[in-house]
Structure 1
Amino acid sequence: MIKKLSQWGLYGGCAAGIFMVFVTFIDVMGSKLFKSPLTASYELVALSQVLAIGLIGADAFLSGRHIAVDLFVNKMPKPLRKAVILGVTALSIFLFFIMTIEGFLYGESLRQARETSGTVNIPLFPFGYSLGVSFLFLFLVLVKYFIATLRNKEV
């Protein structure tokens, strides 16, 4: 189920990335050829980046495309290596647990304040909630990885 959720996040992130390319293309073509740039293109790209970057995190971790520094860890004895991996993963779980809660609280505060983007008044609270969902996906993946590491299994 976690793999399926992370794939949905990947699809959402890819869709947001494609949307950014489309908006940028329309903006550049409109401004260069027709002297009429796309209104709010900056806002649309910035909000799409929140979705694109946030939603692909869990899938990137599962597929090994995340940033990792294994140079020193791989040279450690096996018991110490496992302890370091478990410790770092536990800290990551704690971090993303807090970030998940804060993401949802941020989305709720944006909703209550009725915050919108400056130019075209796009409501911002769905993007705050999307951060919470993105962090939740990564939190679940890290818990799965922690349990698998405890059991000496590959994720």
Structure 2
Amino acid sequence: MIDILEKTAVFICRVLAAVAGAALTVMIVLACANMVSRAVYIPVKGTFELMGFLGAVTAGFSLGFSQLTRSHIAVGLLFNRFPEPVRRVLDVVSEGASCVFFIFCANETAKWGMFLLDLGELSETLGIRFYPFVFAVALGCASMAFVLILDILRILRGKEPLKPA
């Protein structure tokens, strides 16, 4: 059962990371197009809004994959000096606190998305609905929490944290 959950987590995080990469690519193209357009004639309308929306997708969707690949900052100076059993307990406590935080973030962000959906809020320049991007960030936080839960289970079973194959 755990193996199925781990494969599912890796698949979900890879898909979200691919979408985050595509969003980042669109951001780069949009920024370049805006700079060239501004120099030649007039800037691209709504660039600031689109950069914000795409930045939210990029940041939110890359969370789970960054946890899988351990490409985030980890402070091991203090933890590495402890014996293995103490280190495992500290890892579980640390990952547990992070998991609770990201579950809270996903829940509150999803609530905010529902509020924006009910409100019908639109962006000022382009008239784009906000809520899909808010839900995207909530999904990214939920994927991070899912990976952290699986990491906790692996640590408790005496295995290394989950990594993509």
Q: Whole-Å Cα distance in 2 between the matches of residues 8 and 2 of structure 1?
A: 10
Choose from 35, 38, 49 the match for 1:28: 35
Percent sequence identity is 22
Choose from 156, 160, 163 the match for 1:150: 156
Contact persistence 2:103–2:142 (CA under 8 A) = yes
1:76 aligns with 2:65: no
CA deviation after TM superposition for structure 1 residue 80, in Å: 1.1
**1:125 alignment counterpart:** 131
The aligned runs of 1:1-155 (5 Å cut-off) are: 1-33=8-40, 35-154=41-160, 155=162
Q: Deviations over 1:6-63 (max 9, x none)?
A: 0011001101100100111111111102x21100101111110000011011001101
Q: Whole-Å Cα distance in 2 between the matches of residues 132 and 76 of structure 1?
A: 35
Q: Whole-Å Cα distance in 2 between the matches of residues 78 and 140 of structure 1?
A: 25
Q: Deviations over 1:51-82 (max 9, x none)?
A: 00110110011011011111110111111111
Between the two structures, name the one with larger relative contact order (CA 8 Å, sep ≥ 6). 2
Letter matched to residue 68 of structure 1: A
Q: Whole-Å Cα distance in 1 between the matches of residues 28 and 121 of structure 2?
A: 26
Structure 1: tracts of 5 or more residues without a match: none
List structure 1 segments (4+ residues) > 2 angstroms apart after TM superposition: none
